[in-house]
Amino acid sequence: MPYRAPVSDYKYIFDHVVGLDRVAETDLFAEASADVTDAILTEAARLADEVLAPLQRNGDLHPAKLENGVVRTSPGFAEGYAAIAEGGWVGMSADPEHGGMGLPQALTTAVNEMMSGACLSLQLNPLMTQGQIEALEHHASAELKALYLPRMTSGAWCGTMNLTEPQAGSDVGALRTKAVPNGDGTYAISGQKIYISWGDNDFTENVCHLVLARLPDGVPGTKGISLFMVPKRIPTEDGEPGTANSLRVVSLEHKMGLHGSPTSVMEYDRATGWLVGEEHGGMKAMFTMMNNARLGVGVQGIGVAEAACQHALAYAAERKQGKTPVEGGAGTIVDHADVRRMLMTMKAQTFAARAIALDCAVSIDLARATGAADQAARAALLTPIAKAFGTDTGIEVSSIGVQVHGGMGYIEETGAAQFSRDVRVTAIYEGTNGIQAMDLVARKMMDGGAAAMALLNEVDATAQAAGGASGAALAAAAGMLRETTEWLVSQGDLNDRFAGAVPYLRAFALVLGGHYHLRAAAAEGDGGSGRRAALAGFFIRRMLPEHVGLCAAVREGAGGLYDMSLEDLTA
């Protein structure tokens, strides 16, 4: 199905909305000049458009299969992955010491989005590896780094994360996988893990599993968990993949979507593993990978939203149905008011989600390059918003895309339904969106709301600069969100915070969306008559007002949630 990476949108957001130039001004990222950024985005777009997008349908129609213990991937996926690896895209932000490009996370985020829009099933593979690279860079021993990082950065080997077990989903502390010292510096890992994205493939030399397990002296709960590197094939002294480790893919999950991505049930039977980080410090190390993946998953949702938007617009521009009410219009359904409403909603929300994600990535880069505590706090605050709102946007926009297609949207041959089926899981993995929201109102508010208020100060400045009705509307929305944030921080009972966490996160995302839209419109310079001003006006007038009801729901706390008993609910 046709897809074109929105390179011009990335450039515009970088230049006029989130300030990527600040990143390039640091010593660490001095090579990320405007020319380099343009070249990277252009070349990655060519890969996404010409190599990956044609594989999208293959993954759905010809799913990955497990045959005689071997995973067989979808047609063309091996060649697509080879193109990703050979282009150096896996290690874009990895340390140059191990073969990486050392580029800003902001650029990697944009490239990950365009690859997700082209073929989400395949893009999941390098995303997992990127997260593992970061975890190893921060927590692995020098020996493990020297062995694994060059091979993972090149894409010769790929990585996974193994957290979930049948009885331990979001409650990771309930895991039962065991790690027993072998006496030679290695450990025997035994247990079963489920929902392992890209647990195996037939196109990389080795698959490197980061596995959470408990040592014999590990206390119950998350504080007793350690992290281990458990490769599919045990490396030889010269770093070649050697004998098979004692692990296997038990089965592949039968999923709603993402059929090209083999989601595996993994079994470890005294498999040889190496400790990553400190004993009983596994969650700290794994969270490094998970935080990387949360932003990555957020842009997966945005990538699918972009693809679904393009797909719907192409259909609406050609489909003739009924008498069109617009004189001199296209003569197709794109002229109908409700179809136009849907298309503009898709485009406006996708832009807002994209700007949130790229702003988050810029803050990550600035924090890393400068050590600035305020940028680190800003990045931490934006991460759950980027993940949750990005994936919600993918779900909502792809669903609207089906509606734009009408009855044909429900017919698989059009491809509209695949976007909806593929993206649905992104709101679940790497911490459900409810968990992201709970993190936002609890852990991210441990500073008394200081980081949130600082961000709202930026929104206020944008509103004041914009002026007029749009600026006033954004200022009022930011004021209401500020009052709601103060109310949240004042609640001693965390359950009152958690009850309104999801509407709070969405309200915050909508206010930020208005902020980014007005910044984009201001930079357009067409006297308020350009396309970005039109889209900003649509967002401010028709989408931002949702924040009123959301903030009201937040301030209800947990009241009323438990007024019905379980018997009442099942009556």
**Residues with catalytic roles:** 430
Residues forming beta bridges with residue 295, ordered by sequence position: none
Nearest to 271 by CA among 237, 241, 232, 242: 232
Nearest to 362 by CA among 385, 380, 379, 384: 379
Torsion sign, CA atoms 347, 107, 518, 525: negative
| Buried/exposed 310-330: b ≥16 CB within 10 Å, e otherwise | bbbbebbeeeeeeebeeeeee
Q: Name residues whose C-beta falls within 8 Å of residue 242's C-beta, 6 or more positions apart in sequence.
A: 233, 234, 235, 236
Distance (Å, whole) CA 249 – CA 201: 10
Distance (Å, whole) CA 347 – CA 520: 14
Give the tokens for residue 539.
């967002």
Specify the DSSP class assigned to residue 412: G
β-strand 247-252 against 263-276: which pairing, if any? antiparallel
Distance (Å, whole) CA 490 – CA 484: 10
Give the tokens for residue 462.
């944008």
Q: Name residues whose C-beta falls within 8 Å of residue 550's C-beta, 6 or more positions apart in sequence.
A: 503, 504, 506, 507, 510
Q: Are 305 and 394 in contact (CB under 8 A)?
A: yes
Specify the DSSP class assigned to residue 415: S
212: exposed, middle or buried (C-beta count within 10 Å: 0-12, 13-18, 19+)?
A: buried
Distance (Å, whole) CA 59 – CA 79: 13
Distance (Å, whole) CA 513 – CA 546: 12
Distance (Å, whole) CA 204 – CA 192: 23
Q: Are 137 and 292 in contact (CB under 8 A)?
A: no
Q: How many C-beta atoms lie closer than 10 Å to residue 276's C-beta? A: 26
Q: Are 238 and 253 in contact (CB under 8 A)?
A: no
Place of tokens 């990553």: 276
Ramachandran region of residue 207, left (φ > 0), alpha (ψ -120 to 50) or beta? beta
Say which amino acid occupies 268.
Y
Q: Are 499 and 561 in contact (CB under 8 A)?
A: yes
- Find the farthest-apart pair of alpha carbons in the chain and give their distance in angstroms, rounded: 81
Distance (Å, whole) CA 399 – CA 525: 34
Give the tokens for residue 329.
């219009």
Instruction: Give helix 7-16 / helix 501-524 axis angle, nearest 10°.
Output: 90
